[in-house]
Amino acid sequence: MKTEDFDYYLPEELIAQTPLEMRDSSKLLVLDKETGKITHQHFSNIINYLEAGDTLVLNDTKVLPARLIGEKEDTKAVIEVLFLKNIQDNNWECLVKPARRIKKGTIVSFGDGLLKAKCIEEKEEGIRIFTLLYEGILYEILEKLGTMPLPPYIHEKLEDQSRYQTIYAKEVGSAAAPTAGLHFTEELLDKIQNKKINICFITLHVGIGTFRPVNVSHIQDHKMHSEYYHMSKKTARILEETKRKHKKIICVGTTSARTLESIMMKYNQFRECSGFTDIFIYPGYQFKAVDSLITNFHLPKSTLIMLVSALAGKDYILHAYEIAVKQHYRFFSFGDAMLIK
């Protein structure tokens, strides 16, 4: 299967640069994965597609304000560092620009020395491993010095940093937001619960894979980066009960879907567990956990458009994207939503 098979035409003006004032006021394209039928709604109407006893699965990861601008201690050259993943203790995996300037032993200083990072390992694709040197609490320092690591296709400044967090974000550790969840408000979640629909949480910390295009001709040759996930005993119990009662599991975002599928693939059941997953879902994959998916519109030739194509079929997805372009839907992180039911 070729990467080119998942390409589509997208006018640049349809790439959403800022979030809408009201989170749940975005458009919602509803795609029936059995028939290919398309319906146009607003996100606030998502509750009409959920039934009592169904379970909505949310990813409660929280984005680090992890893009920092520093300087090399020796030459004062400006260096951009994106903190991706805590490996152990004070050692972090980071994406660096320009990476060629950072060699083993290089020290980068941030905030007049409030935080320093010493390179201890050089890796490919702009990745470096740093040991961090600081006093106090790291997350408080990042809050003070860092900004949200917005995707490269967003060129406008985000005035309110909280708009790149879901309202239920809790577990700090992501390099990017699980953007399908950005559409939910407290009021909408209350309405969903009042309808006797279960709401449960998993954690998957979104990592470097989000920033990496598929650069191989055949998708089977693409290597996914691993990401940390966790499922609680409470969530596992709710999901097992949902399956037993033959009700639907609706994942909010590809991150939730990948977590559930990873756990089901490994254990053949939902259970309390943590680990790392590099699962790559593309057409031909048989879903074991997910019945429906709430998601945004994804980049051409990305692993995420491959995942939704596995769930709904490539032809149905590409047709839905073509319709979305014609109807001037807003695309990507701050864009509109799709329900695959």
Taking only the tens of pLDDT, the chain with its 341 residues reads 999 999 999 999 999 999 999 999 999 999 999 999 999 999 999 999 999 999 999 999 999 998 999 999 999 999 999 998 888 889 999 999 999 999 999 999 999 999 999 999 999 889 999 999 999 999 999 999 999 989 889 999 999 999 999 999 999 999 899 999 999 999 999 999 999 999 999 999 998 776 677 889 999 999 898 899 999 999 999 999 999 999 999 999 999 999 999 999 999 999 999 999 999 999 999 999 999 999 999 999 999 999 999 999 999 999 999 999 999 999 999 999 999 99
- pLDDT, residue 211, reads 60
Burial (CB count <10 Å: 0-12, 13-18, 19+), residue 112: exposed
Query: pTM of this prediction?
Result: 0.92
| Res 210: pLDDT | 66
**Counting every residue, how long is the chain?**
341
State which amino acid sits at residue 116. K
pLDDT score of 225: 85
Distances in Å between the Cα of 332 and the Cα atoms of 9, 93, 153, 314, 337 are: 14, 25, 9, 18, 9
As to burial, measured by CB atoms within 10 angstroms (0-12 exposed, 13-18 middle, 19+ buried), residue 229 is: buried
**Backbone phi, psi, residue 134, to 5°:** -165, 170
Cis peptide before 98 (omega within 30 of 0): yes
Q: Which two tokens stand for residue 271?
A: 């259970």
Question: Which region, left, alpha or beta, applies to residue 23 given φ > 0 means left and ψ of -120 to 50 means alpha?
Answer: alpha
* Residue whose token pair is 């290597």: 223
CB atoms within 10 A of CB 266: 13
pLDDT of residue 152: 87
Distance (Å, rounded) from C-alpha 294 to C-alpha 264?
19
